[in-house]
Amino acid sequence: MTAAAAARPVFRESPLGRALGRFFANRSAVVGLVVLLAMVGAILLAPPLLGLSPNAIDLLSLNKPPGARHWMGTDGVGRDVFARLLEGGRISLLVAVSAVAISLCIGFLMGALATFGGRVLDGAIMRLVDLAMTLPPIVLLLVLASITGPGIAPTIFVIALLSWPILARMVRARLLELRERDFVLASRNMGAGTWHLIWRHALPNTLDVLVVYATLQMANAVLLEAGLSFLGLGVPPPDASWGNMLNSARSVLVLEQFPWQWLTPGAALVITVMATNFVGDGLRDAFDPRSDIG
């Protein structure tokens, strides 16, 4: 090695930089991200730009097939399917993002408090998590939805309440190892309290878990909202969501003669869930330290 080469500074890529490099090297994850960004852009920008109204009724255009005036046709009362598809996407994503954000806060706090709050609190929280995980999720979901009733806010609450126990276990498993690290023990010996340990040490060291879980849970939340709305326990009409659009098109007549009324929300649901799963899988692989080579 020459003297010039030895004197040349060595730049080490940060862990976040390596994770981003692995993510963007994953073609399916990049495709999923592009599809999600395109869908979000269309949902947010298309209605005001095109002047679309999801609830405008045109009695002269009942069950019209796709055409120049109605790109994706109309439904049984003359509402534009494309406008309702975008509005349904906005509501479905709003419900999913809100529910995942709430479940992230609850799951992280429960897992962190179980780790740093002492043996008694750890035992109480873990028994609560065990109880929540032993209940059949579908039955619990339907019971909670029937108690709270239909609506956007109750749907967010029900999905969030069902989603946090698994994250709490994941956070606790990560923090049990972190709790024995020298810098955490030093903070405890210097008088750091539980909340200081949670915000200064637990949160930064579980960000990868939270990001991956949030992305994968988004797809599950979209499906749960669609299922509840399809059963009439989620977002109620006339508000559009992909679930109640499928519900309104479930008759044999619509299935056979007006396929655009159920194909479009069904395709949007499948594409969104697949793209979200691709992004989630890409993030999971990107944050896995075993993916580093050399």
Per residue in 138-183, pLDDT (tens digit) is 777 778 777 877 788 888 888 888 888 889 998 998 888 888 788 7
> Which pLDDT belongs to residue 1?
47
Residues 97-149 pLDDT 10s: 999 999 999 999 999 998 888 888 888 988 888 888 887 777 777 787 778 77
- Written as one string, the DSSP assignment of 78-97 is S-BHHHHHHHHHHHHHHHHH
What's the CA gap between 237 and 166, in Å, rounded?
Answer: 32
Using only C-alpha atoms, the chain has a radius of gyration, in whole angstroms, of 24
Identify the segments of the chain with pLDDT beneath 70. Answer: 1-13, 15, 289-294
**In this structure, is the dihedral angle defined by the CA atoms of residues 210, 215, 216 and 217, taken in order, positive or negative?**
positive
**What pLDDT is recorded for position 283?**
85
| Predicted local confidence at residue 196, as pLDDT | 83
Q: Whole-angstrom Cα distance, residue 241 to residue 151? A: 11
φ and ψ at 80, to 5 degrees? Answer: -70, 120
Q: Which of 57, 169, 29 is nearest to 112 (CA)?
A: 169
Structure tokens at 283: 């993030």
Listed by start position, the domains of the chain span 81-287
pLDDT at 294: 42
Question: Looking at residue 104, what is its pLDDT?
Answer: 92
Amino acid identity of residue 283, one-letter, is L
pTM of the model: 0.82
- The CATH superfamily of 81-287 is MetI-like (1.10.3720.10)
What does residue 284 show for φ and ψ, rounded to 5 degrees? -60, -45
Which pLDDT score, from 0 to 100, does residue 293 have?
A: 46
Q: How many CA atoms lie within 13 A of 243 on its CB side?
A: 26
pLDDT score, position 289: 59
- Residue 76: predicted pLDDT: 83
Which pLDDT value is given to residue 154?
85
